[in-house]
């Protein structure tokens, strides 16, 4: 019983006077119980659209979506009950305090009244919002609002947590904290699906990934396997002076540069010719997710 199974999911948008937009194009993959799955891809790849269909906010144009073997289109109320979702866009209530937002939202997921306060205190502690609990949600800072969104998604202890760019606009310390929470929930048995543009985060966290571009899946599977597949073809090098022109295909990963290997001899020759004495070190290594991403979405 997989937490998620997508079969040939497609979503098209019709806007008047414009050509049909295919936001998600024939996407199929499954997520196994207890895994952390990264959904990656450049802006506009269709990640959020896919997530909104998985969470039952939009119906797919075609294809099927099942959560723990429950069909999202035919049986949405049951399927939604498994889920906690952090949407990409931060939205907050005008009228309610942080505590009230969580109180009613957990109630809407069927958390009994008697249990709500305990869970609220716990979630607020987790996300370092305890001292804000009686403030109006709209007065929180941007990062705090996002944390409130995360608290809302986990307060009913879902079996499957979906986070659409949970760390966008969040400071470094807090990003660490968010991923610690995700790791802990994962250790407790929660299945996780998330998107991020910080590929180091995905690299550290994910068991499996789906890479999307232009609405379609271009790579899917275990992160390790994908890296292995690319490992023989990646050359890393360092330079003394980094502000020089680079040959095509070279991209930067941190303080290093990286490019897909053609043949070792040929590439060495190219590098020495191009950079000359500027070259500090060269090695071939497992490709970083960033370089795989750039190669595949180029």
Partner 1 sequence: MNNGMWALYAREVKRFQKIWIDTIFNPIVSVGLYLAVFGVVTGGRDVATVPYLAFVYIGLLSMNLINASISNPAFALIISKNLGTIIDLQLAPIAPWRVGLAYALAALTRGIVTLGVAVLCTIWFIPLAGIAHPFLLIITILITGLEFGMLGVAFGMWAKGFEALTFLTTFILQPMIFLAGVFYPISALPHPWNIVSQFNPLHHNVNLIRYAATGFADGNPYTSIIVVGVLLFCVAIIMQVVVQKKLRSE
Q: Are strands 208-213 and 36-40 parallel, antiparallel or unpaired?
A: parallel
The 46-65 site mask, x for binding partner 1 (CB under 8 A), equals ---------xxxxx------
Measured over all CA atoms, what is the biggest interatomic distance in the chain, rounded to whole angstroms?
A: 72
CA nearest 54: which of 96, 87, 17? 87
The 34-73 site mask, x for binding ligand ATP (CB under 6 A), equals -------x-xxxxxxx------------------------
| Pairwise CA distance, residues 88 & 143, whole Å | 13
What distances in angstroms separate CA 58 from CA 24, 55, 275, one per listed residue? 12, 8, 52
| Pairwise CA distance, residues 174 & 171, whole Å | 5
Q: How far is the CB of 48 from ligand ATP (least distance, A)?
A: 3
Terminal alpha carbon distance of the chain: 36
CA nearest 163: which of 198, 132, 133? 198
Range in contact with partner 1 (rule: CB under 8 A) among 83-91, 198-206, 207-215, 216-224: 83-91
Nearer of residues 42 and 107 to partner 1, judged by Cβ = 107
The 74-93 site mask, x for binding Mg ion (CB under 5 A), equals --------------x-----
**Residues 37-76 close enough to bind Mg ion by CB under 5 A:** 47-48
- When asked if residue 198 is in the footprint of partner 1 (CB under 8 A), the reply is no
Q: Tell me, what DSSP letter sits at residue 68?
A: T
- When asked if residue 80 is in the footprint of partner 1 (CB under 8 A), the reply is yes
The footprint of partner 1 (CB under 8 A) covers 55-59, 76-81, 83, 85, 87, 89, 91-96, 100, 104-110, 112
């Amino acid at each position: 019983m997989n937490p998620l199974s997508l079969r040939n999911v497609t979503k098209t948008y019709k806007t008047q006077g414009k050509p049909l937009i295919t936001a998600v194009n024939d996407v199929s993959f499954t997520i196994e119980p207890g895994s952390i799955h990264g959904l990656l891809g450049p802006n506009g790849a269709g990640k959020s659209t896919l997530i909104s269909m998985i969470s039952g906010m939009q119906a797919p144009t075609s294809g099927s979506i099942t959560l723990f073997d429950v069909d999202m289109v035919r049986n949405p109320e049951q399927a939604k009950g498994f889920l906690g979702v952090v949407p990409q866009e931060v939205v907050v209530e005008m009228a309610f305090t942080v505590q009230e937002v969580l109180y009613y939202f957990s109630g809407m997921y069927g958390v009994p009244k008697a249990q709500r306060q305990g869970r609220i205190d716990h979630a607020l502690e987790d996300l370092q919002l305890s001292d804000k609990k009686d403030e109006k949600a709209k007065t929180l800072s941007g990062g705090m609002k996002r944390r409130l969104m995360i608290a809302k998604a986990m307060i009913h202890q879902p079996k499957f947590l979906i986070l659409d760019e949970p760390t966008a606009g969040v400071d470094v310390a807090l990003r660490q904290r968010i991923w610690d929470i995700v790791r802990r929930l994962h250790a407790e048995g929660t299945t996780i699906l998330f998107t991020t543009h910080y590929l180091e985060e995905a690299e550290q966290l994910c068991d499996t990934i789906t890479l999307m571009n232009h609405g379609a899946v271009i790579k899917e599977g275990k992160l390790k396997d994908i890296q292995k597949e690319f490992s023989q073809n990646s050359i890393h090098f360092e330079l003394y002076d980094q502000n020089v022109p680079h040959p095509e295909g070279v991209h930067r990963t941190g303080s290093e540069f990286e490019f897909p290997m053609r043949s070792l001899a040929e590439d060495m020759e190219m590098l020495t010719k191009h950079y000359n004495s500027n070259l500090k070190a060269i090695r071939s290594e497992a490709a970083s997710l960033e370089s795989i991403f750039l190669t595949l979405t180029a």
